[in-house]
Amino acid sequence: MTALTKRLSQLKSGAGGENAGLLVMLAVLVLVFSIASPRFLTGANLGSMGFQMPLLGLLTLAMLAPILSGGLNLAIVYTANICGLTLAWTIMQFGGAEAGIGAFILGGVLAMIVGAIAGAVMGAVVAYVGAHPILVSLAMMIFLRGLGEFLTRGGDISGFPDYMRVLGHGELAGIPVPLILFGLIAFGWHVLLRRTPHGFSVYMTGSNMKATEYAGLNAKRTLVLIYTLSGLLCAIAGILMAARFNSVRVGHGEAMLLITVLACFLGGIDPFGGHGRVAPVILALIILQVLSSGLNLIGANQHLATAVWGLFLIAVMVLRSDQIRQMVNFFSRKDI
- Reported as a pLDDT band with limits 50, 70 and 90, residue 82 is very high
Of the candidates 270, 271, 268, 239, the residue with the CA atom closest to the CA atom of residue 253: 239
What integer is the mean pLDDT of 39-54?
88
Nearest-5° angle of CA 92, CA 96, CA 98? 145
- What pLDDT score does 116 carry? 96
- What pLDDT score does 79 carry? 96
In this structure, what are the phi and psi dihedrals at residue 207, rounded to the nearest 5 degrees?
A: -85, -45
Compute, in degrees rounded to 10, the torsion defined by CA atoms 75, 113, 67, 218. Answer: -140
Give domain limits for the chain.
Answer: 2-11+21-331
- Reported as a pLDDT band with limits 50, 70 and 90, residue 333 is low
- What pLDDT score does 183 carry? 94
**For the chain, what is the mean pLDDT?**
84
Looking at the DSSP bridge assignments, the partners of residue 176 are: 171
- What pLDDT score does 319 carry? 66
Check pLDDT > 90 for residue 105.
yes
pLDDT tens figures, 271-294: 888 888 999 999 999 998 888 888
Query: Is residue 81 within 8 Å of residue 249, measured between CB atoms?
Result: yes
Q: For domain 2-11+21-331, give the fold.
A: ABC transporter involved in vitamin B12 uptake, BtuC (1.10.3470)
Helix then strand then coil, in percent of the chain rounded to 5, is 75, 5, 20
Q: Which amino acid is at 308?
A: V
